[in-house]
Amino acid sequence: MSTDFETVIGLEIHTQLLTRSKIFCGCPNRFGAAPNTQICPVCAAFPGVLPVLNRAVLDMAIRTGLAVNGQIRLRNEFARKNYFYPDLPAGYQISQFELPIVEHGELIIEPEGAPSRRIGITRIHMEVDAGKNLHEGIQGASWVDLNRTGTPLLEIVSEPDLRSAAEAGAYLKKLRSIVRYLEVCDGNMEEGSFRCDANVSVRPRGAERFGTRAEVKNLNSIRNVMRAIEYEAQRQIDLIESGGKVVQETRLWDANQNLTRSMRGKEEAHDYRYFPEPDLPPVVIAPERIAAIRATMPELPDAKARRFRDTLGLSEYDAGVLTASHELAGYFEATLAGAAPADAKSVANWVTGDLLGRINKEGLEITASPVPAQALGALIAMIQENVISGKIAKTVFALLWEQGGGDPRRIVAEKGLNQVTDQGAIEAEVDRILALHPEKIAQYQAGKSQLLGFFVGEIMKATRGKANPGVVNELLKNRLQTS
Ligand code: ADP
Ligand code: MG
Ligand code: ZN
């Protein structure tokens, strides 16, 4: 007998902030330096040192809170979370607990092929990252690298509102895109600057109460988060159906074997003996500061997509693709600016089609596109101005790509690719081709109208794609009627 189960998911995300210095000292906040070269007595938690809050961290927390429609707590407080681990020299982490900086936020997600939904964001709080224990390639010992201690983090905690792996994936994509638009985090899951823990439980469909959750860690891509949720939900269902009980615990995702395994029993909040951080005063924020930050907020992906649809007339799909990252949206807008008199739709077609096709095929980022937005814009403008045909434009695009940019107008002029719109020149070509095919003319005039395409093709071939197809069509139709 099998009951129908519903999966319930809440995500905890740790974002490393892109500040220049660390959260409580002046050390550089930089990834990749030689071990223990980016540290000071504060990082190493020498006795007697005192933390001082980096104001850039506070500003980024406010920006992120505003972006998810959260309430900014004007008086918030740091708390000490006590636990022992070799990469945590202080023996505690400075975090926020009862009075976090942001509460009651939300994110609208649009999972593919499913209705959009509002997902609650319980809280966002500021905290400090720990160091790293190194085990790999070391014999009979473990080393500790404290470079990462003091890296500022925002922990973003969702309500248990997500109901499937697909929704969790959509939530992660949307949130990652927002922190990138805000330039508060690079969103790199592989390098660990955007880390996700997934809390997963199941319950019989229709039940009120949530089931017991397991927290899954070690998820370094959106794909792995989705796979882990699917595996974990099924594991819990199988367990319940065979008469077992889910226990609250922390589990690790094993991407090679495609399964989660128990790591440790889940700590409860009281295990951490939280108390207000005595070394830092409460954070008091002036409303003017929030207003000032609000005034510098960039246009976020949802608003941008709405504008692309409503003002530029793009399809829902194109608007979604083009706003997925602020770099791509920026590329599109720069292309559009240079493409007048062409319209937004043709620019969107070029960017999502020829350009992104090539970018994806070669595994590049849009920021590394060999064809600059200005060049692509000028190319599209030339099509609209009838200087070149769409077909020739593809040839010029390939040239721009190969030579890493350049002026498309120069290329067209130098290679003599200008479209022939000269009526007389095209007429001569039309007459020449028609003279070669009297039997086809007869067939056309007897009703085989699809032969028009054959004639157009022959003329385009003869002019190496340079004849204006509109003019060719007009002339042909005239000639074929009267001859
Ligand atoms: P902890 O630090 O103990 O994990 P948090 O409050 O930081 O606690 O995070 C708890 C996370 O677990 C939140 O994202 C919340 O939505 C989620 N959660 C809570 N209960 C459940 C449940 N029964 N099933 C799935 N997720 C849950
Ligand atoms: Mg947790
Ligand atoms: Zn330091």
- Considering every ligand atom, which ligand is closest to the CA of 212? 1
Task: Determine contact, residues 178/196, Cβ cutoff 8 Å.
Answer: no
Ligand 1, atom 14, residue with closest C-alpha: 10
Task: Determine contact, residues 332/351, Cβ cutoff 8 Å.
Answer: yes
Picking from 366, 381, 414, the residue at the C-terminal end of a domain is 414
Query: What is the total count of domains within the chain?
Result: 3
Substitution site in 106, 208, 209, 213 for ligand 1 pocket (most atoms within 8 Å of beta carbon):
213
Q: Are 359 and 379 members of one domain?
A: yes
Substitution site in 14, 126, 199 for ligand 1 pocket (most atoms within 8 Å of beta carbon):
199
- 473-to-383, 442, 468, 480 alpha-carbon distances in Å: 18, 18, 9, 11
- Considering every ligand atom, which ligand is closest to the CA of 26? 3
Task: Determine contact, residues 383/389, Cβ cutoff 8 Å.
Answer: yes
> Domain residues for 390?
299-414
Q: Are 279 and 305 members of one domain?
A: no
Helix, strand, coil percent content, the chain, rounded in steps of 5: 40, 20, 40
Which ligand 1 atom minimizes the distance to the CA of 215? 4
Is residue 465 very low, low, confident or very high in pLDDT (cuts 50, 70, 90)? confident
C-alpha distance across the termini of the chain, in Å: 80
Task: Determine contact, residues 9/228, Cβ cutoff 8 Å.
Answer: no
Whether residue 96 has its Cβ less than 6 Å from ligand 1: no
> Is 264 inside any structural domain?
yes
Whether residue 158 has its Cβ less than 6 Å from ligand 1: yes
> Is 14 inside any structural domain?
yes
Q: Are 278 and 402 members of one domain?
A: no
Q: Which is nearest to 299 in space by CA: 462, 177, 411?
A: 177
Give CA–CA dist 133/456, Å, rounded. Answer: 70
Q: Are 358 and 469 members of one domain?
A: no
Give CA–CA dist 251/256, Å, rounded. Answer: 15
**Residue 274 above 50 pLDDT?**
yes
pLDDT at 469: 79
> Is 71 inside any structural domain?
yes
Q: Are 380 and 464 members of one domain?
A: no
Picking from 394, 414, 434, the residue at the C-terminal end of a domain is 414
Whether residue 157 has its Cβ less than 6 Å from ligand 1: yes
Q: Are 107 and 230 members of one domain?
A: yes
Q: Are 195 and 263 members of one domain?
A: yes
Whether residue 210 has its Cβ less than 6 Å from ligand 1: yes
Is residue 220 very low, low, confident or very high in pLDDT (cuts 50, 70, 90)? very high
CA of 10 from ligand 2 middle (Å) equals: 9
Q: 253: which strand partners? A: 260
- Considering every ligand atom, which ligand is closest to the CA of 248? 1
> What is the average pLDDT across 82-101?
96
- Considering every ligand atom, which ligand is closest to the CA of 100? 1
Which residues are in the CB-under-5-Å shell of ion ligand 3? 25, 27, 40, 42-43
Q: Are 235 and 337 members of one domain?
A: no
Picking from 256, 289, 322, the residue at the C-terminal end of a domain is 289
> Is 21 inside any structural domain?
yes
Residues 350-393 have pLDDT tens digits of 999 999 999 999 999 999 999 999 999 999 999 998 888 888 89
Q: Are 260 and 353 members of one domain?
A: no
Phi and psi angles of residue 200, each rounded to the nearest 5 degrees, phi first: -130, 135
Whether residue 8 has its Cβ less than 6 Å from ligand 1: yes
Q: Are 335 and 453 members of one domain?
A: no
How does 64-101 read in b/e, with b if 16+ C-beta sit within 10 Å? Answer: bbbbbebebbeebbbbbbeeeeebbbbebbbbbbebbb
Residues 414-444 have pLDDT tens digits of 887 777 767 778 888 888 899 999 999 999 9
Domain CATH number, residue 474: 1.10.10.410
Task: Determine contact, residues 466/417, Cβ cutoff 8 Å.
Answer: yes
> What is the average pLDDT across 46-65?
97
> Is 294 inside any structural domain?
no
**Residue 267 above 70 pLDDT?**
no
Q: Are 255 and 323 members of one domain?
A: no
Give CA–CA dist 148/33, Å, rounded. Answer: 10
- For the question of whether the overall pTM of this predicted structure is more than 0.85, the answer is no
Is residue 1 very low, low, confident or very high in pLDDT (cuts 50, 70, 90)? very low
Whether residue 120 has its Cβ less than 6 Å from ligand 1: no
DSSP state of 365: -
Q: 6: which strand partners? A: 203
